[in-house]
Structure 1
Amino acid sequence: MAVDKTPSQVATSALQAIPFGSIIGGPLKACVEAQALAAKTTWEFIQNVGINIDPKTGEKRAVNVSFSFIQGGKLVQLNIPLLTIVPIPYIAIHEIDINFKANISASSTSTSETTQSEAKDAALKASASMRFGVFKMNADMNASYSSKKDSKATSDSKYSVEYTMDVAVKAGQDSMPAGMSKILELLGNALDVSDPTGTLEVNATQLIIENGKEKAQLIATYKDGSGLLAPDKLIITGTGVNAEDFKISADSRIIDLPAGTYTVKAEGSKKEVVVNVIAGETPTTTGTPDAGDETNS
Structure 2
Amino acid sequence: MPNPGQELSSIDFESMLGGPLVAVVKAQAQAAMSSVNFIKEVGFKKKPADQQDSESFETEEPIYVKFKYWKETKPYEPAVPANPGDSAASPPIPSSPLIPASPAEYQQHDLEVPILTMLPIPFIRMEETTIDFNAKINSVEYQSTDTNFKINASLEAKAGWLWGSAKLKVSTSYQRKTSQGSEVNRTYSMAVHIKAVQDEMPAGMERILGILEDGIRATPNNVTA
Task: Say if 1:68 and 1:196, in contact at 8 Å, map to a contact too.
Answer: no
What are the Cα deviations for residues 99-129 of structure 1, in whole angstroms up to 9, with x where unaligned?
11111112121112344567899x99999x9
Question: C-alpha distance in 1, partners of 2:167/2:156?
Answer: 5
Unaligned runs of 5+ in 2: 53-58, 74-105
- Cα distance in 1, alignment partners of residues 27 and 213 from structure 2: 31
1:105 pairs with 119, 138, 149, which one?
138
User: Structure 1 residue 38 and structure 2 residue 64: aligned?
Assistant: no
What does the per-residue CA deviation read over 1:147-187, in whole Å, with 9 as the maximum and x for residues that have no partner?
43322123353221112122111101100011111111111
Contact 1:65 1:79 in 2 (8 A): yes
Counterparts in 2 of 1:93 and 1:120: CA distance versus 1, 3 Å: same
Structure-2 separation of matches of 1:155 and 1:82:
78
Q: Report the number of matched residues.
A: 182
Q: Any stretches of 5+ residues in structure 1 without a counterpart?
A: 130-135, 198-297
How many percent of aligned residue pairs carry the same amino acid?
Answer: 30
Match of 2:125 in 1: 92
Structure 1 counterpart SS, 2:61? strand
The structure, 1 or 2, with the larger RCO (C-alpha pairs under 8 Å, 6+ apart) is 2
Matches within 5 A, 1:93-172: 93-115=126-148, 137-172=162-197
Distance 1:116 1:76, change over 3 A: same
For 2:221 and 2:66, how far apart are their aligned partners in 1?
9
Q: Which residue number in structure 1 is paired with residue 43 of structure 2?
A: 50
In the alignment, structure 1 residue 26 sits paired with structure 2 residue 59: no
Q: Secondary structure at the match of 1:193?
A: strand
Q: Secondary structure at the match of 1:89?
A: coil
Contact preservation (8 Å) 2:153, 2:168: no
Residues 183 and 28 from structure 1, CA distance in 2 versus in 1: closer, same or farther, beyond 3 angstroms? same
With over 3 angstroms needed to count, the CA separation of the structure-2 counterparts of 1:124 and 1:75, relative to structure 1, is: closer
Q: Which moved more, 1:139-148 or 1:61-70?
A: 139-148
Alignment partner, residue 55 of structure 2: none
Q: Residue 79 and residue 30 in structure 1: after superposition, are their counterparts in 2 closer, same or farther (change >3 A)? A: same
Residue 61 of structure 1 aligns to which amino acid in structure 2?
E
Which residue identity is paired with 1:187? L
Letter in 1 for 2:66: S
SS in 2 for 1:170: strand
Once residues 24 and 181 of structure 2 are traced to their aligned partners in structure 1, the CA distance between those partners, rounded to angstroms, is: 45
Hey, what does 1:179 align to over in structure 2?
A: 204
- The one-letter amino acid of 2:192's match is V
Q: TM-score, normalised by structure 1?
A: 0.53
Which letter maps to 1:151?
A: R
**Could you say what the CA RMSD is over the residues aligned between the two structures, in angstroms?**
3.1
Distance in 2 between residues matched to 1:27 and 1:57, nearest whole Å = 40
Match of 1:188? 213
